[in-house]
Amino acid sequence: MEYISTRGRAPVLTFEQAMLTGLARDGGLYVPAEVPQMSADEIAALEGLPYEEAAFRIVWPFVEGTFTEDELRDCIERAYQGFGHVARAPLVQLAPSHFLLELFHGPTLAFKDFAMQLIGQLFQTALARTGQRITIVGATSGDTGSAAIEAFKGLENVDVFILFPDGDRVSEVQRRQMTTPAEENVHALAMDGDFDACQARLKDMFNDHAFRDEVALAGVNSINWARVLAQVVYYFTSAVALGAPERAVRFCVPTGNFGDIFAGYIARGMGLPVERLVIATNQNDILHRTLVTGEHRPEGVEPSISPSMDIQISSNFERVLFDAYDREGNAVEALMEELGDGGFALSQGALDRLRENFGSGRASEAETRATIRRVFETTGQLICPHTAVAVKVAEEHMGRAPMVTLGTAHPAKFPVAVEAATGQRPALPPRMADLFDLPERVTAVPNDLASLQHLIRENRSK
């Protein structure tokens, strides 16, 4: 399997290289040169399998050549053993034709554990062969950073630096998950700026090729193809549990950086019968506006009670644009240049293609709170604000096929918002009850590339 850049001017890579590289050297993102297909029989055969076995069958064709079958099986086994639910990604019913896919039973209580735990194991296996050291730098609006730290803490050959927005834009649970691990290879950096600023500095570091080579920079943001890949699995397992491939399903996905829903798009590309993929945004609704108007223009980020979706520069959107523009790297590069100058208008052809695949909607803050309350009143279930955004949007996109809304975080990760809406304070699972007692370790950093590079040079293990 070969991987190519969305901007068409970076070298073609193997899975291992694409995984360890993150952002392509031409500024683009890596995608598979061809998406492997699963036949209806192969999809039907996933029914009733343990999550790990299904994951192996779905991931294998993408990584063949980099790992042996045994290596991949071992990585998958270790990745999910710390999850608090034997089904890993259980489905619960919210209404007659509406299901919630609970993706928050991992160690940091958000769906990002599905990908991060697996790539921690894949990185370790690949690096152990050569003894190579790498420096992982990530930017987070909260959940990616905690999941990355949890997955990479204490691993040999890796230093991990996570940039997160200073102040109260990340919840206290999210912050503590990043600042309390005591392992020496973990560095939590509170940056003076919002998430888009953190992500912009991260991109600057990757685009400084001398620095990138000097510290062997690797990225684990959702631009990393290996993360998208790990997320493809639960689209299959949930759809099969609801009757695929005979019966189609719809998915509604709380969306920020477009990584999670892009995994659904890949699942569909592999042959899973997905009737609709619905993009759910909070008040930071650039993706919804893009589908409605054909204009992709970031506005300022307005902090919300679903902070992991407070994003205007949605990195993975580039991957779907690449397909919408017939995989013409030049066209994507031109759009991204326009984006740097304020935004772009999609061609009619590209917009039509996007609309064939995706629906979209938004939820205001008041609608999000009302949805948390209503779901609690009608089902007894507490849901996090990100999930609530998608439940509200899903209800506007019901069709013939059953709807699966992705539950992206545990309600206890956002207790203030959940309690304000329902009067109930969601409890942390017992396995993390000591989070509020552990000492925190964090470095405040300015929104400045040179200072960040200096800090990383000085603090990584040599």
Ligand X SMILES: *Cc1c(COP(=O)(O)O)cnc(C)c1O
Contacts of 208 (CB under 8 A, 6+ apart): 449, 453
Closer to ligand X at the Cβ: 5 or 255?
A: 255
Distance in angstroms (rounded) separating the CA atoms of residues 439 and 227: 30
203 touches ligand X by CB under 6 A:
no
Pairing of the two strands 274-281 and 358-362: parallel
Given the residues 112, 203, 392, 413, the one annotated as active site: 112
Letters for 117-156 (x = contact with ligand X by CB under 6 A, - = none) are: --------------------------x-------------
Q: Kindly state the DSSP code that residue 460 receives in the 8-state scheme.
A: S
> Nearest distance from residue 156's CB to ligand X, in Å?
27
CB contact at 8 A, 294 and 345: yes
CB contact at 8 A, 270 and 264: no
Of 72, 232, 309, 401, which lies in the binding site for ligand X, with binding defined by CB under 6 A? 309
Torsion of CA 357, 396, 373, 279, to 10 degrees: 20
Distance in angstroms (rounded) separating the CA atoms of residues 234 and 101: 9
Which residue, 279, 351, 340, is CA-closest to 313? 340
CB contact at 8 A, 162 and 138: yes
Instruction: Kindly identify the residues of this chain, within the stretch 406-425, that bind ligand X according to CB under 6 A.
Output: 408-409
Distance in angstroms (rounded) separating the CA atoms of residues 415 and 427: 8
Of 308, 312, 368, 405, which lies in the binding site for ligand X, with binding defined by CB under 6 A? 308
Orientation angle between helical segments 317-324 and 259-270, nearest 10 degrees:
40
Sign of CA dihedral 459, 146, 141, 252: positive
386 touches ligand X by CB under 6 A:
yes
112 touches ligand X by CB under 6 A:
yes
User: Residue 45, Cβ neighbours under 10 Å: how many?
Assistant: 14
Dmax over CA atoms of the chain, in Å, equals 57
Stretch that binds ligand X, among 38-46, 84-92, 257-265, 333-341 (CB under 6 A): 257-265
> Nearest distance from residue 304's CB to ligand X, in Å?
11
Distance in angstroms (rounded) separating the CA atoms of residues 113 and 116: 5
Contacts of 43 (CB under 8 A, 6+ apart): 236, 240, 244, 245, 271, 272
Stretch that binds ligand X, among 48-56, 63-71, 255-263, 297-305 (CB under 6 A): 255-263
254 touches ligand X by CB under 6 A:
yes
Closer to ligand X at the Cβ: 102 or 260?
A: 260
Closer to ligand X at the Cβ: 227 or 353?
A: 227
Tokens 């109260």 correspond to 168
- Catalytic site includes residue 462: no
256 touches ligand X by CB under 6 A:
yes
Stretch that binds ligand X, among 40-48, 49-57, 203-211, 258-266 (CB under 6 A): 258-266
255 touches ligand X by CB under 6 A:
yes
> Nearest distance from residue 190's CB to ligand X, in Å?
18
Closer to ligand X at the Cβ: 99 or 114?
A: 114
Of 257, 368, 405, 422, which lies in the binding site for ligand X, with binding defined by CB under 6 A? 257
Which residue, 363, 315, 308, 393, is CA-closest to 108? 308
Alpha helices in 153-224 (DSSP H): 172-179, 195-207, 209-214
The tokens for 315 are 């990195």
Closer to ligand X at the Cβ: 114 or 211?
A: 114
Supply the Cα-derived Rg of the chain in whole angstroms.
20
259 touches ligand X by CB under 6 A:
yes
371 touches ligand X by CB under 6 A:
no
Closer to ligand X at the Cβ: 59 or 409?
A: 409
Stretch that binds ligand X, among 8-16, 21-29, 116-124, 256-264 (CB under 6 A): 256-264
Q: What angle do CA 134, 231, 120 make, to 5 degrees?
A: 25
357 touches ligand X by CB under 6 A:
no
Closer to ligand X at the Cβ: 308 or 371?
A: 308
Closer to ligand X at the Cβ: 101 or 215?
A: 101
- Give me the DSSP letters along 95-110: ETTEEEEE---STTSB
> Nearest distance from residue 257's CB to ligand X, in Å?
3
> Nearest distance from residue 110's CB to ligand X, in Å?
4
222 touches ligand X by CB under 6 A:
yes
Closer to ligand X at the Cβ: 125 or 308?
A: 308
Stretch that binds ligand X, among 31-39, 251-259, 288-296, 445-453 (CB under 6 A): 251-259
Tell me the number of residues near ligand X by CB under 6 A. Answer: 16
Question: Which residues make up the interface to ligand X (CB under 6 A)?
Answer: 110, 112, 143, 222, 254-260, 308-309, 386, 408-409
Q: Annotated active-site positions, please?
A: 112
